Amino acid sequence: MQYHIFNDDWLLDKLYKLDTPCYVYDSKLLEDNLANLNLQIRNCLDYQAVVHYALKANDNQELFTIIKKHNLGVDCVSGGEVEYARRAGFSASDIVFAGVGKTDNEIIQALKQKIYCFNVESQQELEVINQLAAQEGLIASIMLRVNPDIDAKTHKSISTGKYDNKFGMPFSQIIDIVNNLRNYLNIKLIGLHYHIGSQICDLSVYKELALVVSKHYQKLESYGVILSDLNLGGGLGVNYSEPEINPLSNFADYFSILNKNLTINKNIILHFELGRSIVAQCGVLLSSVLYTKQTSHTKFVILDAGMNDLMRPALYNASHKIKVLKQSDIYDYYDVVGPICESTDIFAKQVKLASPVRGDKVVIYTTGAYGYVLANTYNKRDKIREYVY
């Protein structure tokens, strides 16, 4: 296999040199994925397009530098992220700023820097931005975030585009706002923003999104509102069960299905906010077996990594491929758990493993997105380390 992180010998070598647990990132895989992303933008889209990297997925500085080199913008969801992106050398015009709870201070700082736009999530937020922009003598470029009530067919905890989610506004409210835009003197509406969920694997969801976006665009056009931009969010899913089969994301199908189903002016600038599909597969979590034990029903493998290091399984019941790095003909079924004093500290239940023993090395794949960023020091543990190769 061409990538280090899918080469067991390379991993074992690293595992004996590094203290576990730790995250290891494969920069070559990330570079190839980004090159493919830019290629597919050119091949599959009839529009000018900007991909904003969703910084929340992984804010590792070295990876961020690689991402910058490939000409992406940044999707930020806090003043801290805006500041971090600026410090990493991104220009303000590369930055879009989303989130349902922007503080006054975050808005003022972003306004002063002249970011590309705010993705506005409620009428009240729009009023506050208008008022703060007036106070600063500035005009705020904004997109209105639409909640299109689309089922993203993903885990309910990472679905954002249904009416019972806190994100965005129903299109009827958008119409009301647009009809009253003249009252917002310090606002410049440039487009609509959509982000309906994460880890979306059923691409027909994106067809549905493109059809709804086109309908909304045409409706506003019929009111004489001319938009210059549309932001279709992110959410493209990755292969957690067999990462080595799809190390690179399927950007071609993703862009093609959107392109085919959009009926909007070809001069529109499209924006995307991709996180997971850019960084998930380039990261693995390396760990060691501390103990094994057996109760009346279950065989347990206890790792030195815990839910504080990788929260996804405990938070969303997420499943990641797990492998014991050794050759063995003897396999059995184990619950793989961490050392944290919580019953939810489980990485996988009844997973087939090559009979692990104390000291064996274990890899948890596809942890480049929403891994380290969610890690914490619960139980007074050290913050897990990251290494980029």
**Residue 52 beta carbon to ligand LLP: minimum distance, rounded to whole angstroms:** 8
Comparing CB distances to ligand LLP, the nearer of 14 and 195 is: 195
> In the set 73, 79, 191, 234, which binds ligand LLP (CB under 6 A)?
234
Comparing CB distances to ligand LLP, the nearer of 4 and 147 is: 147
Is 158 a residue that touches ligand LLP (CB under 6 A)? yes
Residues 6+ apart with CB under 8 A from 79: 102, 103, 105, 106, 109, 110
Is 98 a residue that touches ligand LLP (CB under 6 A)? yes
Is 233 a residue that touches ligand LLP (CB under 6 A)? yes
| 297, two tokens | 């029903």
Comparing CB distances to ligand LLP, the nearer of 208 and 273 is: 273
Stretch 58-77: interaction string toward ligand LLP, x if CB under 6 A:
-----------------x--
Stretch 118-137: interaction string toward ligand LLP, x if CB under 6 A:
--------------------
> In the set 29, 57, 129, 190, which binds ligand LLP (CB under 6 A)?
57
**Residue 320 beta carbon to ligand LLP: minimum distance, rounded to whole angstroms:** 10
Whether 182 and 219 have beta carbons less than 8 Å apart is answered as: no
Residues 6+ apart with CB under 8 A from 2: 28
Distances 374 to 27, 315, 338, 369 between C-alpha atoms, Å: 21, 10, 16, 9
Q: Can you tell me whether residue 265 is helix, strand or coil?
A: coil
Comparing CB distances to ligand LLP, the nearer of 276 and 381 is: 276
Stretch 328-367: interaction string toward ligand LLP, x if CB under 6 A:
----------------------------------------
Is 196 a residue that touches ligand LLP (CB under 6 A)? no
- The type of residue at 159 is S
Where does residue 295 rank: exposed (0-12), middle (13-18), buried (19+ CB within 10 A)? exposed
Q: Are strands 269-274 and 140-145 parallel, antiparallel or unpaired?
A: unpaired
Stretch that binds ligand LLP, among 192-200, 247-255, 287-295, 338-346 (CB under 6 A): 192-200
Residues 6+ apart with CB under 8 A from 292: 299, 300, 301, 302, 334, 356, 357, 358
Residues 6+ apart with CB under 8 A from 239: 245, 246, 281, 366
Comparing CB distances to ligand LLP, the nearer of 230 and 274 is: 274
Crossing angle of helices 171-179 and 123-136, rounded to 10°: 40
Is 308 a residue that touches ligand LLP (CB under 6 A)? no
Whether 183 and 228 have beta carbons less than 8 Å apart is answered as: no
> In the set 40, 60, 147, 199, which binds ligand LLP (CB under 6 A)?
199
Residues 6+ apart with CB under 8 A from 241: 319, 321
Residues 6+ apart with CB under 8 A from 19: 385
The residues in 237-296 that bind ligand LLP, with binding defined as CB under 6 A, are 273-277
From 131, 135, 100, select the one nearest 118 (Cα to Cα). 100
Is 34 a residue that touches ligand LLP (CB under 6 A)? no
Comparing CB distances to ligand LLP, the nearer of 234 and 338 is: 234
- The type of residue at 242 is E
Comparing CB distances to ligand LLP, the nearer of 84 and 291 is: 84
**Residue 368 beta carbon to ligand LLP: minimum distance, rounded to whole angstroms:** 11
**Number of shown-chain residues binding ligand LLP (CB under 6 A):** 20
**Residue 354 beta carbon to ligand LLP: minimum distance, rounded to whole angstroms:** 27
**Residue 71 beta carbon to ligand LLP: minimum distance, rounded to whole angstroms:** 18
Task: Give me the residues that bind ligand LLP (CB under 6 A), please.
Answer: 54, 57, 75, 98, 158, 195, 198-199, 233-236, 273-277, 312, 316, 370
